[in-house]
A and B are shown apart, each in its own frame.
Chain A
Amino acid sequence: MSAFIKAISYYLPEKIYSNTDFFKAFPATVSQKENYARIGVVERHIVAKNETASDLAVKAALALFKEHKVKPEEIDFLLFCALEFDYMFPASASIIQAKLGLPINAGAMDYSLGCSGFVYGLGMAKGMIESLGLKNVLLITSSTLTKNIHKKDRSSKFVFGDGAAATLISSGKKNANISSFVFGTDGKMAEKIIIRDGGARNPISKNSFIEIENEHGNVTTDANLHMDGAGVFHFGLKTVPAMIKDLLAKEKLNIEDVDLFIFHQANLFLINSIRTKMKIPEEKVFNYMAGVGNTVAASIPITLSEAIKSGKAKPGQKILLAGFGVGLSWGATIIEL
């Protein structure tokens, strides 16, 4: 039985941080409004202080159950992807399993990935369904990265938003499927997107909170997100076209054979640069970031969900999904709904 994406729902936290709020907080950036507009984000949702990635995950899954009439007892396995977990252990997936009332004979596990995480989850879910005979895998991808952004890190504050998506991957629908995959990792570039302190390698210390300012005036600390914007941009332009080329070769397809491209919503400027480089027609790329920002592992399913709702993504089409980010890590696949 081949695996396919049966349903997606998502949840966004209530609090909104708009560009008006941003330019008020950073008056020096007002003269750069036009350049900021090229990033493609107008507002983002921000997680509450007492809310965690697993809380957003539960809300996204409850929305999935309600909107698509899915029963918790139908779930065979829960995959939870995030960068922020509730405890050192147990896995947040255990907490989510209990809150959602998933069966006790369902498997549940966490994995730590960012913007490539949804594609990796699809790969694992496909394997579980097609090799292990499971029927319904619930993949929840959630991000609360704004909690870890330094209040004076303008670039990251502008780009990122919080949210969670719940995707049901099931077995057995004629013609709907998930194709082969390409994956990639370059741990030598791990420093490009990192929070250095707070894990086992560097416990939080006094030095974790020393402010570091980069040449663009963005301030962060080792307890907060460090992102090398130019380095990540270079990575995206270098890796994503090559990854898509590899996947198309593997599937014996050309760009013209793909009906829709959904990229991780890193930022509009990078996606447009990748699209131009690959000569992909503009109408074949669907973006959804203006109202949500870059939601890390939740960004591809949120965008896909909106593509389906708007009628842009239809059954029978070949839809290419490409994720890339922290790791550095990347992955792509083609789905048919």
Chain B
Amino acid sequence: MNSIEEFTKGLEVEFEDLEPGTLSSATNFRSIKGWSSMHALIIIAYIDANFNALLNGADLKSAQTIQDLYNITIEKLK
């Protein structure tokens, strides 16, 4: 599993419309500019494609920050 820094950077690239350095592990991902349902799909696809862990709607609802997403991913991989 990648470090939280790599995980965050990878997600930032996937979001495409963000300036580099916008996201940190503490970022509440729902507060990013233009947060939409598409971003939720991007998160699910990013974690599935890169870490082979499939998050569901409830997993996403329970998470607030990038760190939460990272922790859920690690839990899924156990």
Contacts and interface: CB of A to CB of B under 8 A. Distances in A.
A234 B44 contact: yes
Contact of B38 (A39, A238, A273): A39
B57 interface: yes
A283 to B, nearest CB: 20
Given A31-B33, A215-B30, A277-B49, A36 B57 contact: no
A237 B48 contact: yes
A270 interface: yes
Chain B interface size band reads 20 to 34
Contacts of B35: 216
Interface in B4-29: 16-17
Interface residues of A, number: 26
Interface of A: 29, 31-32, 34-36, 38-39, 155, 215-218, 228-231, 233-234, 237-238, 269-270, 273, 276-277
A65 B56 CA distance: 45
Contact of B36 (A35, A233, A270): A35
A269 B30 contact: no
Contact of A230 (B30, B48, B49, B57): B57
A237 B40 CA distance: 14
Interface of B: 16-17, 30, 33-42, 44-45, 48-49, 54-57, 60
A229 B38 CA distance: 9
B16 A230 contact: no
Nearest to B16: A34
Contacts of B30: 215
Contact of B17 (A34, A229, A230, A276): A34
Contacts of A36: 38
11 contacts: A31-B17, A35-B39, A35-B42, A39-B38, A216-B37, A230-B60, A231-B56, A237-B45, A237-B48, A269-B41, A273-B45
A101 B25 CA distance: 65
B40 A229 contact: yes
Given A31-B34, A229-B41, A273-B48, 15 more contacts: A32-B34, A34-B16, A35-B16, A36-B38, A216-B36, A216-B40, A217-B36, A233-B45, A237-B48, A237-B54, A238-B54, A269-B42, A270-B41, A276-B49, A277-B49
Contacts, number: 66
A34 B57 CA distance: 23
Contacts of B41: 229-230, 233, 269-270
Given A32-B17, A32-B34, A35-B17, A233 B44 contact: yes
Given A31-B34, A35-B36, A216-B40, A269 B45 contact: yes
Q: B17, B42, B56: which has the most chain A beta carbons within 10 Å?
A: B56
Given A35-B16, A215-B30, A230 B37 contact: yes
A276 B45 CA distance: 10
B40 to A, nearest CB: 5
A44 to B, nearest CB: 17
Contacts of A237: 44-45, 48, 54
